[in-house]
């Protein structure tokens, strides 16, 4: 990578639901504190904070004015993204590479127990042309599913992938254990294809000082805002983002020891594997079912809420890296994955 090398020093992830003992600021504080403790550093050594938060999810206008101090931003350089946590991670990496900071906290959160995911999703669509039609990301995911599940073999792979995802989430110590909910599925989606809505807070400490996990590649790309201007059979922006990240790392997708791919539903996770080059076209569901490297965390079945999920995928990848292993983590944002971020991580 150009610029100063960047390392992950500490990570933390908490997935809960409707915790009546803590408000949102307390959830954020506890997670950021855990990441800083995991890094072995003190808050005095942090000079930059990059946040991923969305007012519509938090239910508070200018939410970061209330929540940023809990993330360590008081009297520190702060950037706030109304976007996915992986995009915030990328922004922090670029600032460190450029020498604008030495050590940064990246924090992202979303509390599904306090908002309606469907209304939030619908609010992101064009108010004149698409929102009156009732379109949201779940409808678009169902449209993709109709194309992806056109054969009996694909439908069998979907059944196996959903079961594998359920088992992976059950084995994940950070997954939601009680509470949460699922939205009503649109045909041909089923309950097990949908994310388990939860309260998700994630934090990472990044530094230019050597640490066991290095950020070796980064890529971002966006597609047109209008879903009709995209290819519904592919996630082109993720293909481009992953290609750039892998090229920067000097690796190919086959060199990855694990992958944490963000996606709203099981369908997007499978399409994401294909877009990133981790599965051949049409084989994403089969790889989710059979390849233990693919979303070992359980993906959206472990607990889900934007805009924290890209950073959650990064944390899940870091916790599984050791001894020269490599991982690809991705995050999606805006309308139905319009913008994608891909990160390559390597254990030194």
The number of distinct structural domains making up the chain is 1
On whether residue 343 sits in a domain, the answer given is yes
Assess contact for 84 and 339: CB atoms under 8 A.
yes
Domain that residue 314 falls in: 215-347
On whether residue 206 sits in a domain, the answer given is no
On whether residue 103 sits in a domain, the answer given is no
pLDDT at 2: 67
Spell out the alpha helix ranges (H) of the chain. Answer: 24-39, 55-58, 63-67, 85-97, 117-123, 137-148, 152-171, 236-249, 266-275, 284-290, 309-319
For 75: left if phi > 0, alpha if psi spans -120 to 50, otherwise beta; the answer is left
Residue 109's alpha-carbon distances to 64, 96, 284, in angstroms, are 11, 22, 28
pLDDT at 189: 97
On whether residue 307 sits in a domain, the answer given is yes
pLDDT at 38: 98
Cα–Cα distance, 260 to 327 (Å, whole number): 8
Cα–Cα distance, 232 to 267 (Å, whole number): 12
pLDDT at 1: 54
- Long-range pairs for 56-59: beta carbons < 8 A, 24 or more residues apart: 56/115, 56/120, 56/123, 57/110, 57/111, 57/112, 57/115, 57/120, 57/305, 57/306, 57/307, 58/24, 58/109, 58/110, 58/111, 58/114, 58/115, 59/114, 59/115
Statement: the pTM of the whole predicted model exceeds 0.95: yes
On whether residue 166 sits in a domain, the answer given is no
Output b/e per residue, 64-78; b: 16+ Cβ within 10 A: bebbbbbbbbeebeb
Closest CA to 64 of 16, 112, 118, 25: 25
On whether residue 229 sits in a domain, the answer given is yes
Assess contact for 325 and 312: CB atoms under 8 A.
no
On whether residue 265 sits in a domain, the answer given is yes
First to last CA, the chain: 15
**Could you give the strand order of the β-sheet that contains 199-207, starting from the edge strand earlier in sequence?**
77-81, 48-52, 103-111, 199-207, 6-16, 213-222, 339-347, 326-333, 258-260
Three-state DSSP at 51 gives: strand
The enclosing domain of 224 has a CATH number of 3.40.47.10
90-113: per-residue pLDDT in tens? 999 999 999 999 999 999 999 999
Q: What is the largest CA-CA distance in the chain?
A: 58
Closest CA to 332 of 158, 189, 144: 144
Return per-residue pLDDT of the chain as tens, 348 residues. 568 999 999 999 999 999 999 999 999 999 999 999 999 999 999 999 999 998 888 887 777 788 999 999 999 999 998 889 999 999 999 999 999 999 999 999 999 999 899 998 998 888 988 888 888 999 999 999 999 999 999 999 999 999 999 999 999 999 999 999 999 999 999 999 999 999 999 999 999 999 999 999 999 999 998 888 999 999 999 999 999 999 999 999 999 999 999 999 999 999 999 999 999 999 999 999 999 999 999 999 999 999 999 999 999 999 999 888 999 999 998 778 899 999 999 998
Q: Which helix (H) or strand (E) holds 81?
A: strand 77-81
On whether residue 322 sits in a domain, the answer given is yes
Structure tokens at 342: 């891909």
Cα–Cα distance, 341 to 329 (Å, whole number): 8
């Amino acid at each position: 990578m150009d610029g100063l090398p960047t390392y992950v020093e500490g990570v933390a992830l908490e997935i809960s639901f409707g915790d009546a003992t803590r408000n949102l600021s307390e959830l954020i504080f506890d997670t950021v504190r855990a990441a800083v403790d995991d890094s072995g550093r003190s808050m005095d050594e942090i000079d930059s904070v990059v946040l991923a938060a969305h007012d519509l999810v938090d239910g508070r206008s200018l939410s970061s004015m209330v929540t940023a101090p809990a993330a360590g931003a008081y009297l520190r350089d702060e950037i706030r993204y109304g976007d996915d946590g992986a995009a915030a991670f990328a922004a922090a990496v670029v600032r460190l590479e450029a020498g604008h900071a030495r050590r940064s906290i990246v924090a992202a959160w979303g509390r599904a127990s306090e908002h309606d995911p469907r209304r939030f999703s619908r609010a992101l669509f064009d108010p004149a042309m698409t929102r009156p039609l009732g379109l949201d990301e779940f409808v678009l995911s169902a449209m993709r599913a109709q194309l992806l599940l056109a054969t009996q073999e694909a439908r069998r792979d979907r059944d196996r992938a959903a079961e594998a995802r359920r088992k992976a989430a059950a084995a994940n110590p950070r997954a939601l254990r009680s509470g949460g909910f699922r939205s009503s599925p649109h045909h041909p989606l089923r309950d097990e294809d949908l994310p388990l809505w939860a309260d998700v807070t994630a934090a990472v400490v990044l530094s230019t000082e050597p640490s066991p996990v290095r950020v070796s590649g980064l890529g971002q790309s966006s597609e047109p805002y209008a879903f009709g201007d995209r290819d519904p059979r592919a996630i082109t922006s993720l293909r481009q983002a992953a290609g750039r990240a892998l090229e920067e790392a000097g690796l190919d997708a086959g060199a990855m020891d694990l992958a944490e791919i963000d996606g709203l539903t099981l369908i997007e996770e499978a399409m994401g594997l294909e877009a990133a080059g981790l599965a051949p076209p049409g084989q994403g569901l089969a790889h989710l079912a059979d390849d233990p490297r693919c979303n070992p965390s359980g993906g959206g079945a472990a607990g889900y809420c934007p805009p924290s999920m890209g950073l959650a995928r990064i944390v899940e990848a870091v916790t599984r890296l050791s001894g020269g292993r490599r991982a690809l983590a991705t995050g999606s944002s805006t309308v139905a994955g319009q913008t994608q971020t891909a990160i390559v991580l390597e254990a030194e």
